[in-house]
Amino acid sequence: MTNYLTPFTFNNGIELRNRYVMAPMTTYSANPDDTVSDEELAYYEERSYGVGAVITACAYVTSSGKGFPGQFAGHTDAYIDSLRKVAQAIHKGGAKAILQIYHGGRQSPRELVPNGDVVSASDISIDNVPAEDASLIIPAKVSVEDGSKARALTVEEIQEIVKAFGETTRRAIEAGYDGVEIHGANTYLLQQFFSSFTNKRTDKYGGTIEKRMRFPLEIVEEVNRIKQQYADDSFIVGYRFSPEEPEEDGITLDDTVQLVDRLANERLDYLHISLGDFRSLARRYKGKKDNRIKILRHVIDGRVPLIGVGSIYSKQDALEAMETGAELLALGRELLIEPHWVEKIKAGEEIITEMDMTRDNVIPEPLMRKMQSRPGWVPGVK
């Protein structure tokens, strides 16, 4: 069985000091101008001393892609200095810094995007109906009038967004990040294109599963092109995905198997599944109803590392998660509860597994207020 406290080396030769990474979590805590706040910097630094890498909360790549209040931005060069501060805070603790990049699509509240112009793969209701087991990230609840819809992107606009993912990758490189994670999960724009529930297009971006994969794959290609132009092989590129959706015409695990099989050949350094619990089993799948991580790891067959995630609170949870065979494990809510989880596991110390609001866990005030207003809630718990 893998010891997750031992170093891990990616196929590009970059080494992490251990196999635990901090999962991306929304903090709602950016400054009013969407630059990173001092509270967020302290939050990231506090959690950077144990894990091998920190994946940040998602930064939006176009002005129409902002998905929730208090989100730090990456869509213009004016934000490079802000992004740099986050990378520097993470590096202080010795962890690798990975910037998650995304577009909210129909999850973007109308009041947060220019002219209220919410976009998606198709003309579809603006709603927040995250896929079951979706994520450690909880999007902001969208308040809209009944019948309000996002509009379908034009082909030209799709290409502009593809380029925007590349430009934000360039900014991450200039800001000193060790990599980026393309956010293709949690019902945001990339998943909206991949899912036949939200993608009703009849052009080259919709219909068959191959066409529905086109937009995410074009983004992967563009991010890798920018990497080749501005960085070197040491720059990490990952991709996060959600395995299934509950809707009848939503994503099945059979769909995800095809996507993951394709992504594993796309010069990515890792794939990152989005789950609420690492123990979860396949639900809509033609094969054996096994653990989702185990199924997808078999599909990947060692081509790229897979990050497993979900409800790893205790040492016993970690031991069980190891049995899935994921090369890396992400910790999300666990690092809110116990910022030094990895260090304490390594030292054999007792781990706190439930949120204690009386402890100073270096959590930004806006996030703390959300927790206090909803007893028992932490990001990811529905």
Q: For a pLDDT cut of 70, what percent of the chain falls above it?
A: 92
CB 97 within 8 A of CB 47: no
Q: CA–CA separation, 78 vs 74, rounded Å?
A: 8
Pairing, β 149-152 against β 179-184? unpaired
CB 195 within 8 A of CB 250: yes
Q: Tell me the backbone φ, ψ of residue 240, rounded to 5 degrees.
A: -110, 140
- Considering only CA atoms, which of 187, 206, 160, 24 is closest in space to residue 105? 187
The CA distances from residue 175 to 3, 77, 198, 303, in Å, are 32, 10, 34, 29
Annotation marks residue 188 as catalytic:
yes
Bridge partners (DSSP) listed for residue 291: 281
pLDDT band at 145 (very low <50, low <70, confident <90, very high): very low
Per-residue pLDDT reduced to its tens digit, 319-344: 999 999 999 999 999 999 999 999 99
pLDDT at 381 over 90: no
pLDDT at 263 over 60: yes
Q: Which residue has better confidence, 48 or 131?
A: 48
Per-residue pLDDT reduced to its tens digit, 252-262: 999 999 999 99
> Which of the following is catalytic: 4, 28, 79, 188?
188
CB 100 within 8 A of CB 183: yes
- Considering only CA atoms, which of 58, 66, 51, 64 is closest in space to residue 27? 58
pLDDT at 300 over 80: yes
pTM of the shown model: 0.94
DSSP letter string, 264-276: TTSS-SEEEE--S
The pLDDT of residue 369: 86
Q: CA–CA separation, 73 vs 62, rounded Å?
A: 9
Q: CA–CA separation, 280 vs 308, rounded Å?
A: 11
71-75, 101-105, 141-145, 297-301: the lowest-pLDDT one: 141-145
Calculate mean pLDDT across residues 261-284. Answer: 96
The CA distances from residue 308 to 242, 280, 292, 321, in Å, are 12, 11, 10, 8
Pairing, β 119-120 against β 149-152? parallel
pLDDT at 2 over 80: no
Calculate mean pLDDT across residues 305-315. Answer: 96
pLDDT band at 121 (very low <50, low <70, confident <90, very high): very high
Please give the mean pLDDT across all residues of the chain. 92
- Considering only CA atoms, which of 235, 237, 307 is closest in space to residue 21? 307
Per-residue pLDDT reduced to its tens digit, 30-60: 999 999 999 999 999 999 999 999 999 999 9
Calculate mean pLDDT across residues 79-87. Answer: 98
Token duo for residue 155: 């082909």
Cα atoms in the 13 Å half-sphere on the side-chain side of 308: 28
Calculate mean pLDDT across residues 218-223. Answer: 98
The pLDDT of residue 372: 78
Per-residue pLDDT reduced to its tens digit, 344-376: 999 999 898 888 888 889 999 998 888 777 655
Domain 8-373 has CATH 3.40.50.1100: no
Q: Classify 149 as helix, strand or coil.
A: strand
Q: CA–CA separation, 181 vs 340, rounded Å?
A: 23
The pLDDT of residue 127: 64
pLDDT band at 133 (very low <50, low <70, confident <90, very high): very low
The pLDDT of residue 140: 38
Q: Which residue has better confidence, 127 or 324?
A: 324
pLDDT at 77 over 70: yes
The CA distances from residue 108 to 128, 166, 231, 273, in Å, are 9, 21, 31, 22
Q: Which residue has better confidence, 1 or 268?
A: 268
In angstroms and rounded to an integer, the radius of gyration of the C-alpha atoms of the chain is 19
Domain boundaries, the chain: 8-373
- Considering only CA atoms, which of 331, 340, 328 is closest in space to residue 8? 328
pLDDT band at 1 (very low <50, low <70, confident <90, very high): low
Calculate mean pLDDT across residues 180-186. Answer: 98
